[in-house]
Structure 1
């Protein structure tokens, strides 16, 4: 009996070893097409058969938040993968967490293969980015965007797919209704605001801002800081760069913002209003002007397709000066210089730089492309064509303020409208934080 039992156990052991040998492959072996047809996601999140062999995976991080724009980016990536079946493009759109995530990745020197530099190609991300000056598209950069992403040594830091040109968005119908010419100076803008407030009997908000999404308040200050301190012939550009700026000169800008609230030119619920309130109010003809780009246009037209939205340069603030745009990088693609797949990253960026793809991106974002020779046609094309020769200055905070000052400007601007700080105290706060952060 014992002999029979041992014999049976021996047979079972032999069969088990044989089965184990069939189920295992040597450590590190690559799964081939014959082994598996594992489904892998494409850039849009769809799954498809890999067709064999391990794919090169390119991680791409973008600041784009609009779903329509994200879909266009993914669609172009899918076209790229069809031409390059051994490369998998994986998008991440972190939204408001983008900047914090990238700061952590920089600290760990572990960045995405391709990422959006969102206005900081040279200053913040320069040492992490590969030089793209040898790419065919680099010679096609627009005259206004080339100096923004090209340093003094000629290094090209990123492909600018969409070039920002922020001025003032406005309701064309309302300006016609109240017989208002496009203002060119700040005084003319204030006169228009007074006329709209008075003749609408308070039913129309001349300029909308949000204290909840205080970037709208910071954005106003950032744009008009350029009009006050940088664009005039006699300016404070060098003093700011050298850290010798007299911050008492900030007080008039803060005072003008406070005066706008006091005179009823800003929505009365500025401290509780949200950016998301814009489409509904604009569609109802309740907002005349907004500083910044008309990125809200599609949402307005979903509510009221008959509203016509216009775009004009930012008014001048100093006598003798001219209107300007503030701009630079909006959506870009740069390649991590230490990435394992740098050649493939450059190839992907070059694919997005194709004229047809740049046109798709320009149309969905309603912004001018960063390359010459790109055909695009959207509702704001006429305005970009009209103001093609208007000067474009980089964002004030990106050039003249140390990292961290944007938040200070937004929060203190909101406190000013809440009347918890005075214009003079605002200037003192800016001085203290400028000196602290600059020497950090």
Structure 2
């Protein structure tokens, strides 16, 4: 069954703030009895700066100290370790897994004053059938592809809406600009952009189209033939061989991307949030646009990929639940919610908050485009994100063929489904995920 939503207000992708902690505290913080420990998955520097400024304002206003932890790419692994030891942060980011992964660790927030102000989209995503509200959403996600509008205009290229158009645009840029421009920039380190390519492009390949190209049911039931996935590694390999993707994608650092686009050295990137605003702040002569994920099959439309982005949840076994709720209420105050939403270039999920976005023109152009759920969150068992990224890395390193990528995906898909207790033919949403896998425990 499709879970599609119409874009009713400007939305786009963001990056994450990270941090660690728990009722047991953190060695870098103050005494856990007096200090609220907070972990967030935000990684973008400007977003982290805004987040930390608001934390400082809360500390001054409330007298409550907050130990902020922003581990970046290590966020997920650190939280898994804390789940295994049942020593969670007092406040933490569920980063898309509020119910399926963190549900047993979160306090119900449905009684908080701000809860009634949540828009229907986010309220339904973060609440269960019993009315439990798992987290406060800082923003709403809407992912697509950011592009250098200034560069495309110079070469007379329209923003692509299909995969063929995207490929043609990249090939034109490679031909006309040569080594001066990288058509598609990917940086696995610190950004997971290779995994992002696969995760976002899997939607138009496997789930958004109607008819014979729709595999939603097979993915849910575990009967999916992974040879139908091979198109994606084949295309990435082709792009890499043709010089359309940077040679160092596996080792490149995502922190480079803003500078490179500001210098007109890259054209497309699987990024969003404050990315465009950061580029233009660095170089006002460069304008960044956003397009939905291009369609692949004839007759299908582009798709926004959206859902839960950054959140704040309260550990249900924390000794500082009331202080944690007070912090979230502070972040949900209209001015603070607006500040954080605008810092991430994403809309606030609160109905009372009217925030502005860098990508407003892009949103307006594609306001009727439907929002699809994140592929890995909707169809894959926990742990598959790492597999998506690692197989992509091995593909670009030349140690895996596209067919081998699909074979490894199939093997890990079956193994991880069994780990969470899902049998073939059973919908993955019906199974409860264990707190942590064996690798995370080690």
TM-score of the aligned structures, taking structure 1 as reference length: 0.81
Q: Is the 8 A contact 1:162 1:331 kept in 2?
A: yes
2:100 corresponds in structure 1 to 123
Residue 218 (structure 1) shift: 0.9
Q: Taking structure 1 as reference, are residues 230 and 146 closer, same or farther at Cα in structure 2, changes over 3 Å only?
A: farther
Alpha-carbon distance between aligned partners in 1 of 2:249 and 2:78, rounded to the nearest angstrom: 30
Of residues 49, 64, 72, the one that matches 2:42 is 64
Residue 116 (structure 1) shift: 0.8
1:217 equivalenced with 2:194 (yes/no): yes
Q: Taking structure 1 as reference, are residues 232 and 109 closer, same or farther at Cα in structure 2, changes over 3 Å only?
A: same
1:433 corresponds in structure 2 to 412
1:80 corresponds in structure 2 to 58
Q: Taking structure 1 as reference, are residues 60 and 388 closer, same or farther at Cα in structure 2, changes over 3 Å only?
A: farther
Q: Is the 8 A contact 2:201 2:232 kept in 1?
A: yes
Q: Secondary structure at the match of 2:376?
A: helix
Alpha-carbon distance between aligned partners in 2 of 1:433 and 1:98, rounded to the nearest angstrom: 22
1:28 corresponds in structure 2 to none
2:336 corresponds in structure 1 to 357
Q: Is the 8 A contact 1:144 1:392 kept in 2?
A: no
Residue 413 (structure 1) shift: 1.1
2:205 corresponds in structure 1 to 228
Structure 2 alignment gaps of length 5 or more: 1-27, 420-442
2:286 corresponds in structure 1 to 307
Larger radius of gyration: 1
Residue 389 (structure 1) shift: 3.6
1:328 equivalenced with 2:307 (yes/no): yes
Q: Secondary structure at the match of 2:147?
A: strand
Q: Secondary structure at the match of 1:393?
A: strand
Q: Is the 8 A contact 2:237 2:396 kept in 1?
A: yes
1:101 equivalenced with 2:81 (yes/no): no
Alpha-carbon distance between aligned partners in 1 of 2:122 and 2:227, rounded to the nearest angstrom: 32
Alpha-carbon distance between aligned partners in 2 of 1:75 and 1:293, rounded to the nearest angstrom: 22
1:40 corresponds in structure 2 to none
Q: Is the 8 A contact 2:184 2:245 kept in 1?
A: yes
Alpha-carbon distance between aligned partners in 1 of 2:333 and 2:105, rounded to the nearest angstrom: 25
* Larger relative contact order (CA 8 Å, sep ≥ 6): 2
1:390 equivalenced with 2:369 (yes/no): yes
Deviations 1:60-87 (CA, angstroms, capped at 9, x unpaired): 22122344333433333344344434x3
Moved segments of 4+, more than 6 Å = none
Of residues 381, 386, 389, the one that matches 1:410 is 389
1:163 equivalenced with 2:137 (yes/no): no
RMSD (Å), alpha carbons: 2.5
TM-score of the aligned structures, taking structure 2 as reference length: 0.81
Q: What is the aligned residue count?
A: 389
Residue 127 (structure 1) shift: 0.8
1:147 equivalenced with 2:124 (yes/no): yes
1:18 corresponds in structure 2 to none
1:196 corresponds in structure 2 to 173
Alpha-carbon distance between aligned partners in 2 of 1:434 and 1:59, rounded to the nearest angstrom: 34
